[in-house]
């Protein structure tokens, strides 16, 4: 049997110092562990990488701690607009949604776009119409309400600022979630989901639902899920850039991921991190922020759950 592995993230950057208590830290670790085990156990019983990443991301979307699904941040209109994407490295099929509201698990909707429509990317009202046709139940706004996130929004609601999750300083926390996996058959996949930025307006969309920017998978090279300053990750076409360095420059997964996160994205002014796997089950999880909520597990028995560097 081939080596199988999974990595997940709950966003680059960490809670501002002083806000992270031991209790809160153990809640983060618990929710990371839960998502990791769900994804890993799926791989263990022979499920595919694309199923495993969807399962792990759904679990992170159900946690109020991360900026995706239930924990999504507030927009300028005091609503929630979520983005998600998923890609299968075996078939190069992909699905993505942006600006959706009321959907409990946006990654599942992205999966349906991939599997049940002829399209790759649906946005806004059209994506919502598709969700209704696919019989997605809509949650009330109260499902997404979180006191902490609401307070974050109240602090900046009458300004022109928009803010990455948990940040007081621009760069302290992002919060998007993602998963990448390599299954027993050597196929890889990636999924990413986010509520975006606090107080965002004008239909702002970040890198998370954009194939090639925040999410990418190709068995030939790697599967990647990104987190960070979305505008820069779009301009750096970050996920695809890692794949290109592997394919065209012969770099290893680790070399290519580090080159992009520690050099290329910094050069254009962006910050954040990514998780990556290849079809041999190797994992890389570089970030250039103070921390990144992350976890990984392989069939060789290695397991990591970490927040800070």
By the rule CB under 6 A, 72 interacts with ligand ASP: no
**Distances in whole angstroms, Cα of residue 203 to Cα of each of 89, 94, 198, 238:** 29, 22, 13, 22
Among residues 88, 165, 183, 187, the one that binds ligand ASP under rule CB under 6 A = 165
Min separation Cβ 255 and ligand ASP, Å: 23
By the rule CB under 6 A, 241 interacts with ligand ASP: no
By the rule CB under 6 A, 193 interacts with ligand ASP: no
| Residue 33 contacts residue 63 (beta carbons within 8 Å) | no
Catalytic residue list = 176
By the rule CB under 6 A, 175 interacts with ligand ASP: yes
Q: How many chain residues touch ligand ASP (CB under 6 A)?
A: 19
| Residue 256 contacts residue 127 (beta carbons within 8 Å) | no
Among residues 187, 207, 241, 278, the one that binds ligand ASP under rule CB under 6 A = 207
> Between 3 and 20, whose beta carbon lies closer to ligand ASP?
20
Min separation Cβ 136 and ligand ASP, Å: 22
By the rule CB under 6 A, 174 interacts with ligand ASP: yes
**Distances in whole angstroms, Cα of residue 287 to Cα of each of 16, 153, 197, 284:** 17, 26, 19, 10
Subset of 254-283 contacting ligand ASP (CB under 6 A): 272
Which chain residues interact with ligand ASP by CB under 6 A? 11, 67, 164-165, 174-176, 194, 196-197, 206-208, 214, 227-228, 230, 233, 272
């Amino acid at each position: 049997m081939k080596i199988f592995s999974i990595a997940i993230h709950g966003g680059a950057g960490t809670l501002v110092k002083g806000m992270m208590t031991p209790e809160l830290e153990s809640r983060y670790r618990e929710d990371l562990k839960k998502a990791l085990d769900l994804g890993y156990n799926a791989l263990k019983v022979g499920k595919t990488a694309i199923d495993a990443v969807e399962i792990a991301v759904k679990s992170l979307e159900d946690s109020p701690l991360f900026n995706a699904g239930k924990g999504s941040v507030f927009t300028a209109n005091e609503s929630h607009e979520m983005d998600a994407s998923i890609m299968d490295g075996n078939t190069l099929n992909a699905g993505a949604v942006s600006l959706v509201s009321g959907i409990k698990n946006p990654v599942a909707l992205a999966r349906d776009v991939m599997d049940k429509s002829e399209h790759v990317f649906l946005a806004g009202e059209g994506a919502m119409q598709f969700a209704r046709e696919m019989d997605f139940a809509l949650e009330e706004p109260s499902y997404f309400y979180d006191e902490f996130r609401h307070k974050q929004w109240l602090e900046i609601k009458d300004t022109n600022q928009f803010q990455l999750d948990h940040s007081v300083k621009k760069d302290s926390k992002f919060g998007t979630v993602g998963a990448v996996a390599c299954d027993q058959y050597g196929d890889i996949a990636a999924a990413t989901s986010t509520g975006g930025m606090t107080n965002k307006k004008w239909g702002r969309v970040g890198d998370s639902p954009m194939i090639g920017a925040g999410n990418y998978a190709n068995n030939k090279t790697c599967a990647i899920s990104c987190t960070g300053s979305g505008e820069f990750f779009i301009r750096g076409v970050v996920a695809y850039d890692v794949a290109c360095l592997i394919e065209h420059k012969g770099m290893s997964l680790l070399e290519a991921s580090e080159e992009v996160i520690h050099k290329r994205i910094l050069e254009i002014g962006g910050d954040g991190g990514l998780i990556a796997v290849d079809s041999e089950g190797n994992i890389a999880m570089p970030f250039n922020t103070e921390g990144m909520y992350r976890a990984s597990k392989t069939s060789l028995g290695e397991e990591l759950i970490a927040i800070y560097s």
